[in-house]
A and B are shown apart, each in its own frame.
Chain A
Amino acid sequence: MSVSLENDVLNYLRDVLDGDLIEAYRQRERRVFVRVKPAAVRRAVQALKDRYSTLRLMTLSAVDTGLDMEYLYHFHINGLVLTVRSVKPKEDNTLESIADLIPAANFIEREISDLFGVKLVNHPQPEHGLILTRDWPDDKRPLRKPFEGILPSKARPVAEALISSSCVAPISAFVQKKREEAGLPKSAPFAFTDEKMMREFQGIIRDTSLSEKVGFDWEKKRLRYK
C-alpha cells in the first residue's frame, strides 16, 4: 500500500468538502479518518464513488453518546480503510440514507433505525421491522440511551450557571435586597454585570472544549438536557 493513496483520499476530500470537512488524518498505515458535517455525508459518499471505482461500503457503525448520534461509514478502497465520521445532535432524530448511492447501505441503515430509533430519510424502506417486530414501541429501542450528557444531575445547574452567567450561585431577590440594605451593590462585580466582560469570559470558555463536553447550547444559553 502506498502512502500516495492515503494522501490522495485525504487531499481529495479536503478539496471537495472544503469547509464541511472538520478533520482529516492518517491514523496508521492503510487507515485514514475524516470527520465531516452531517449535511455533507452524502456529498462525501458521492465524491468518493465518482473518484474510486473500487469503493466498497464495509459497514456503518452507530454510537449513541447520550446527546449525539455518531455515524461511522467504513469504506474499503484498494486495501485502504477509510472511515467517514459524522456527529448529529439527537435533537434531530433523523439519518439521511445513502442507500440510493450505495445499495449495500440499505440493511445496515434499517438495522440502526430499528435498534436506535432514528428515522430514516429518503430510504426505500424507511419503516422499522428488520430486526425488531413491527409493533415494537418507538420509545423502547434496545440501543438508545437516555438524552443526557456526562454530568450527574446535581452538577448540571452548576455547569449551566458557570457558563451562562460567569458565576455558579444564582442570586435571589431576597439576597439582593439584603445586600442593598447593607449598603452593598445588588450584585458583586461579576462578568455578567458588564456586557464586554461577559463577552470576554464566554469567548474564553468557547475557545476551550468545556461547553461541548458538558453539552451547553449557546443559542439557548442552557444545557441541552435537564
Chain B
Amino acid sequence: MVRYAFFLGCQIPMRLPNIEIASRKVFERVGLEAVDLLGYSCCPEPVISRLLDETAALATSARNLAMAEELGLNMMTLCNGCYETLAEANEVLKHDSERRERINGILRRYGREFRGKVDVKHVIEVLYEDIGLDRIRGQIVKPQRMRAALHYGCHLYREYKSPDIMRKPRMMREIAAQTGIEIVDYGLERLCCGYPSMQADEEFSLKNRLLLKLSRMREAGADAIVTACPACMIQFEIGQVMLRSYGIQYNMPCLNLMELLALSFGVPHQELHLELHRSPVLQLVQKMGVK
C-alpha cells in the first residue's frame, strides 16, 4: 500500500468537496492510503502572506511539513497552489540554513521542528510514479466518451526536481488519456485561466484570460474542460456565470481530473455529488449515459 500524508488545502474541502469525494474513491481503488494531517492549516495562500511577511508564510508551511515529518510520510497535495507553496517552502528551508534556523526558532516554542525529511508531491505525480499507469488502466471500467480540453494550471508547471516544466503536465495528459477521453489540443494550454487577476480587474480576468481559453476550446470541439487545480475550476465555473453579465454564454462543463478518473473507474455519479458543480457537468455525464 502506498501511503502519503494528505494535504487537503482549503478550497477543496470547504468549497469543492466533490473533488475530495472523488479523490478518496480513486485512492481506495488504486491502493493509495491518504493519511489526514490532523490540525493542519492553510498552506498558506501565497498572495497575502508571502508578499507581506515571508517569515509568517514559511513558518506556516513549515508547521504543515513538520506534521508530515512526524508521521514519517511524504506529503501529497490535491491542489496546484498548495503544491507550489509547500514544495517551494520545503526547498527553501532544506537549503537555506539561516532561514531554517529562524523558522525553527518559532516552531520549537510549540514543540515542532522542520527537519527537511519529507518530499512534497502533487497527486498527479503520486498517481503516475507510485501507482503507475498500468494499475490505473486496470481500474477503468467505464471509458469516458467525451472530447476534453485539458487545463493544467500555472502552478503545475512549477518544477523543483528537474528543469523540465512540462514533466507534471505530461503526466496529467497521460493519466487523462487512460480514461478514454479524446484530448483536444487548443493551443492556449499554457495561458492562465485568469483566477489571480480576478482580484485586481474582473473584466480583464474574464475577457482577456477566461474568454480566450473558452473560445479556443470550443473552436477545437471540446465538450468539457478537465483541470487539476481547484482555483482554476472556480474560475472556469463561476467565471462562466459572470460572463453572462457581459452577454456571453458558454456553459462548458468543467471537471477535475480526479472526478474523471472516478467516473471511469465506475463510481456512480450520484456518489460523486456532481450537483455541486456550477457548470453542467451532471448534464454532460447524464448525456453520456453513465449511470
Contact = CB atoms under 8 A, between A and B. Distances in A.
A110 B11 CA distance: 51
A208 B39 contact: no
Nearest to A181: B273
Contact of B59 (A150, A170, A188, A207): A207
B20 interface: yes
Interface string A69-105: 0000000000000000000000000000000000000
A154 interface: yes
Given A175-B17, A178-B17, A184-B17, A214 B42 contact: no
Interface string A194-226: 101100110111011110011000000000000
Interface string B42-83: 101101110011011001100100000000000000000000
Interface residues of A, number: 40
Interface stretch (A31-39, A48-56, A160-168): A160-168
Contacts of A167: 10, 14, 41-42
A201 B199 contact: no
A155 B48 contact: yes
Given A184-B20, A209-B55, A213-B52, A194 B13 contact: no
Interface in A166-189: 166-171, 175, 178-179, 181-182, 184, 187-189
Given A162-B45, A213-B52, A201 B63 contact: yes
Contacts of B174: none
B53 A159 contact: no
A191 B39 contact: yes
A159 B48 contact: yes
B40 A190 contact: yes
The residue in A154, A193, A205, A210 that gathers the most chain B C-beta atoms within 10 A of its C-beta is A210
Interface stretch (B106-114, B164-172, B278-286): B106-114
The residue in B42, B55, B107, B109 that gathers the most chain A C-beta atoms within 10 A of its C-beta is B42
28 contacts: A152-B199, A158-B47, A158-B48, A159-B49, A166-B41, A167-B14, A168-B11, A168-B44, A178-B276, A182-B21, A184-B17, A188-B8, A188-B13, A189-B37, A189-B39, A191-B40, A193-B39, A200-B39, A200-B63, A201-B41, A203-B109, A203-B110, A204-B56, A204-B107, A210-B52, A210-B53, A210-B56, A213-B52
Interface of B: 8, 10-11, 13-15, 17, 20-21, 24, 36-42, 44-45, 47-49, 52-53, 55-56, 59-60, 63, 106-107, 109-110, 112, 199-200, 271, 273, 276
